[in-house]
Amino acid sequence: MKRPVRALRLAVCGLTALLLWTRMPFSVSADEPYDVYHYNDLGEAIPSQAGYLAETSVSGTDLGISAFSEPSDLFKDIDDCFYIADSGNHRIVKINPDFTEVLAVYDSFRLPDGTKTTLNHPKGIYVSPDTGLLYIADSDNARALIAEPDGTVRQVIQKPSSPVYDQQLTFLPQKILCDNAGNVYIILGNTTKGAAMFDRDGSFLGYYGANSVKRTPAVIANYFWNRISSEESRKYRVRNTPTAFDNFDIDREKGFIFTSTSSGNSNTDIVKKVNPEGHNLFSHLSGFVWGDEFSTWYGGTAYQTKIIDIDIGDDRSINCLDTTTGRVFQYDEEANLLFILGTIGDQVGGFTQGGVAAVETKGENCEQIYVLDSLKGTVTRFSQTAFGAIVHNAASLYQQGKYEEALEPWLEVLKYDGNYRRAYIGISSAYYNMGRYQESMEYAKKADSSSRYNRAFSKYRAQFLKAHMTEILGAAAGLWAAAFAMRRIIRKRKAGQPAQSDTQGGGLS
């Protein structure tokens, strides 16, 4: 009797382990230094193939200079050279594309009047692909510098004298970028009105891309009472102000600026795609969850995703850096999740909690991802796997509108990972554009995409009706004729019933 009982116990243990494995995000290879997972259509974390693997971690001493101290920003220019805002060392460091050699250290500049000036805790760096000029958020000097690659300052931007700008606020630049027209956008550390915007001559234009306030019942009620209260009463009432965004990046080809916000208490405006008019094109994603769809536990405390930085890849992928978990969440330009990479830990590919500061991508199809850890003082490089390359190739063809060409790569993706939801969406779209609507419906159902399913069903219905119109009309005509004949028979029977009754009655009399 012991053997059956023992076998039953082993079976129960095995089944329990299997169920736990399917519910938790574990990595699928011993070579991966972090958990690899994805989310299915039910929002459940499931094991997945790795799109990227951590390769190496580089420090300042590895590059032959002093260790980085509180580095706060990382930027890649059009020539694939990298720039680090080494805030604690009051310098900007330029590094070669292979991340093996320092090309320049900017710790002093020449002002237009010929005098020398130094940086003081620079927090942001941007290099224009059009002019090669350096844009530096020189935070503790309360200014932004626009300089030539040789260190000659072209322009200094300081606190504007405009009445639109609150003169009681110190000018504290945190991050900076410029658009194709030469307009400069600066995130300030002490305002929630949006990024301060300046034209190419340095004139203050106002604020751009401010976050909205979530319309909860409490917010609406507070707004109502503020409207009807006296000026004296309003001084003591709570004011509803939006949260400030932490970082931004620009899609230079289309001119959209993407912003990220970490401090909000809801998903409103966590990631925004802002057009030149200042409108958020992701407003329809108000219920969308950026980052992890569940809380992360460290030391008995639950932490929510906090997107501290955002990078738009050359393939328009959206790469979001989560300061809570040290993870990078990569999405395509339609906000479909592609990959999750990184973790908290000491190994390569692991970061300090709250330490990650910036993310950058490199390559036409985002072949490499770089993450800056301000507490470790390192930059970690992740490189694309074979699976990641296939996904990006398929996604690239899809975004170019080459749905049929993307079909085979998407089918190949499913050979690696049968639960990869993005592949089902791509296959459904490919079949839809090929006119194979029934198959499109099948894959849309597997992706749990009701909009795609309904669109394909509408086409399938029209296609079916067109192909079988003769049979449908013939069947309809037959049914009508049968109904008409049946109706005549019923009428005749009803008409004949009284006559039969009278005949019977006459016989009885």
Which residue matches tokens 């805030």? Answer: 87
- Separation between Cα atoms, residue 304 and residue 324, nearest integer Å: 7
Report how far residue 384's alpha carbon sits from residue 420's, in angstroms, rounded to the nearest whole number: 17
Compute the mean pLDDT over every residue in the chain, rounded to the nearest whole number. 84
Q: What is the pLDDT of residue 26?
A: 33
Most confident region among 39-53, 301-315, 360-374 by mean pLDDT: 360-374
Considering 106-120, 187-201, 240-254, 458-472, the range whose residues carry the highest mean pLDDT is: 106-120
Angstrom distances, CA of residue 200 to CA of 127, 154, 185, 355: 15, 11, 10, 34
Report the alpha-carbon distance of residue 325 to residue 343 in Å, rounded. Answer: 6
Across 73-90, average pLDDT? 98
Please state, for a pLDDT cut of 90, what percent of the chain lies above it.
60
Q: Tokens representing 56?
A: 């190496």
Q: What's phi and psi for 155, nearest 5 deg?
A: -155, 145
Residue whose pair of structure tokens reads 């003082």 in the numeric block: 377
CB 87 within 8 A of CB 35: no
Stretch 457-465: mean pLDDT: 84
Between 376 and 399, the higher pLDDT residue: 376
Q: Is the pLDDT of residue 262 over 90?
A: no
Q: Between the ranges 24-28, 92-96, 278-282, where is the mean pLDDT highest?
A: 92-96
Mean pLDDT within 338-365 = 95
pLDDT of residue 225: 43
In Å, what is the CA distance from 206 to each residue of 162, 179, 186?
9, 15, 11
397, 405 contact by CB (below 8 A): yes
Position 190, amino acid = N
Judge contact between 298 and 232, C-beta under 8 A.
no
Distance, CA of 324 to CA of 310 (rounded, Å): 15
Calculate ∠ Cα 442-448-450, nearest 5°.
85
Residue 498: what pLDDT? 57
Task: Quote the pLDDT of residue 32.
Answer: 65
Q: Could you tell me if 132 and 151 are in contact, meaning their C-beta atoms sit under 8 angstroms apart?
A: no
Contacts of 321 (CB under 8 A, 6+ apart): 307, 308, 309, 310, 311, 327, 328, 356, 358, 359, 371
- The DSSP code sequence of 230-249 is -HHHHTTSPP--PPPP-EEE
pLDDT band at 157 (very low <50, low <70, confident <90, very high): very high
User: What radius of gyration, in Å, describes the C-alpha atoms of the chain?
Assistant: 32
Dump the DSSP string for 451-488.
HHHHHHHHHHHHHHHHHTHHHHHHHHHHHHHHHHHHHH
Task: Write down the CATH number for the domain with range 55-214+244-385.
Answer: 2.120.10.30
Q: Give pLDDT, residue 463.
A: 80
In the predicted model, what is the mean pLDDT of residues 442-465? 88
Query: Is the pLDDT assigned to residue 25 strictly greater than 50?
Result: no
Pick from 34-48, 277-291, 469-483: least confident:
469-483
Q: Where are the domains of the chain?
A: 55-214+244-385, 215-243, 386-496
Q: Give the pLDDT of residue 193.
A: 87
CA 477/CA 468 separation, integer angstroms:
14
CA dist., res. 64 & res. 133, Å (int)? 26
- From residue 349, how far is each of 56, 255, 263, 382, 422 by CA, in Å? 8, 32, 25, 8, 25
Distance CA 63, CA 155 (A): 31
pLDDT in tens, 405-415: 999 999 999 99
Answer whether CATH 1.10.8.100 is correct for domain 386-496: no
pLDDT in tens, 189-229: 988 888 999 999 999 999 998 876 454 444 344 444 444 45
Is it the case that residue 33 has pLDDT exceeding 70? no
Min mean pLDDT across 148-152, 385-389, 480-484 is at 480-484
Each residue's pLDDT tens digit, 221-255:
444 444 445 555 544 333 445 577 899 999 988 89
Confidence band of 497 (pLDDT split at 50, 70, 90): low
Q: Do domains 55-214+244-385 and 386-496 have the same CATH topology?
A: no
Of all helices (H) and strands (E), which one includes residue 66?
A: none
**H/E/C letters for each residue in 407-443?**
HHHHHHHHHHCCCCHHHHHHHHHHHHHCCCHHHHHHH
Residue 30 has pLDDT above 90, yes or no: no
**390-404 pLDDT, tens digit each:** 999 999 999 898 999
The conformation of residue 280, written as its DSSP 8-state character, comes to: B
Report the alpha-carbon distance of residue 382 to residue 373 in Å, rounded.
14
Give the global pTM: 0.81
CA distances from 367 to 104, 314, 319, 393, 492 (A): 25, 10, 13, 11, 82
